[in-house]
Amino acid sequence: MKEVTLNALAQELGLKAIGRGERTVSLVAAPGTANERTICPVWEERALPLVGKDVPILAPLALFEPGRDGIVSDRPREALPKLLAFFVPERPARRGVHPTAVVDPEASLDPDAWVGPHAVVGPKTVVEGGAEVGAGAFVGARCRVGARTILEPGAVLLDGVCVGRDCILHSGCVLGCDGFGFLPSPDGPVKIPQIGGVEIGDRVEIGACSTVDRGTMEDTVIGDGTKIDNHVQVGHNVRVGRGCILCSMSGIAGSSVLEDGVTLSVQAGITDHVTIGRGAVLAARTGVTNDVPAGAVLSGFPARPHQEAKRAMVLAADLPALFKRLRSLERRLEARSGERESLAEAKR
C-alpha cells in the first residue's frame, strides 16, 4: 500500500495542496466510504455532506470549507484518472517463459517479454519487449504482440492477428475468429472462407468476452486508442477509427466503417456496409441501418436524431390515454350524428 503526503501527491498531479500538506493518504475513496487516511474526489457540492470533515478531498477551491485539507483542481473529473493511476499496484516485473508454457521454436520472443503458465505461442509469431502473455492465453501463428501489450489469462489471438503497443486484451476476448460469411444455396448456407487478418492499433483496450472477426480478404482494423467494453462483437472487414468507444453488448456487422471518435452506447447495433461519421454518438439500443453523418447524436430504431426520438418516446407513453380520449370523442360524434338523423326524420 502506498503512502504519500498531500504535497507530494499534488506535485505528482501537477496541482496544489491546501491545508496540511504534510499529512499522508494511502488510497482513493468515494464519498460515503472515505476516511482520514484516504483522499476523496468531489466535484459536486451535494456530495460534501457524505464526506467527513477530516477527509482530504480533490475538488475545486469553492468546495473547500475552512480547515479542510486536500488538493485543489478546477477539473477534478479530468484529474481522477491520474490520481487513481498513482495508487494502482505495480505489476511485478516478469520476463522469460514459464516452464509449462508452449512456445514454438519458430516464434520470436524479446528477452524482456513474459509468457505465463500454460500459455501457447505459435510459429512465426513475434512477442515484443515488455509484452505479457498471461496464463492460459493462446497466440497463434504469424501474430505480433506489440511492446508492453498485456494479454490477460485466457485471451485468444488466432492466426494472423497483429496487436500494437501498450494494449490490454482482457480475459476471454477472441481476436481473429472467422467472420460470419455464408452464401445461401438450395442445400443450405455455403461457408465463405475468411482469409484476412486482424490489425489492432496502439493503446487499444478490448474487454472480456469481446470478439473481433478476421476479414474475408482484407484485415479487420481497430484504430489507435479505441476502447472496447466487455461482450462487444466486431464483424469481419469492419474498420474502426481512432479513439472510438464501444460499450458493452454493442455490435457491428460486416464491412461497416466507424470514423474517428465514434461512441456506441450499450446494445447499439450497426448493420453491414454502413459508415458512421466522425464523432457521432449512438445512444443505448440504437439500431442503425443507413449511413450516419459526422457529429450526429442518434437513438431508437430505426435510428433518428436523439431529441426527436425522446419526444416520440414521451408521446408513445401517452398513447393509451390519447386512445381513450379518441374513442370517447368518436362515441360522442356518433351519438350526435344519430340525433341529427332522428331530427331530420321527424321533420320529414
Active-site residue numbers?
A: 236
CB 68 within 8 A of CB 57: yes
Q: Count CA within 13 A, CB hemisphere, residue 13.
A: 30
Sequence-distant (6+) residues with CB within 8 A of 123 are: 104, 105, 106, 107, 141, 142
Q: CA-CA distance, 91 to 85, in Å (whole number)? A: 12
Sequence-distant (6+) residues with CB within 8 A of 265 are: 247, 250, 281, 282, 283, 284, 285, 286
CA distances from 266 to 181, 227, 246, 293, 311 (A): 25, 13, 8, 20, 21
Give the closest residue to 235 by CA, choosing from 309, 169, 193, 175.
Answer: 175
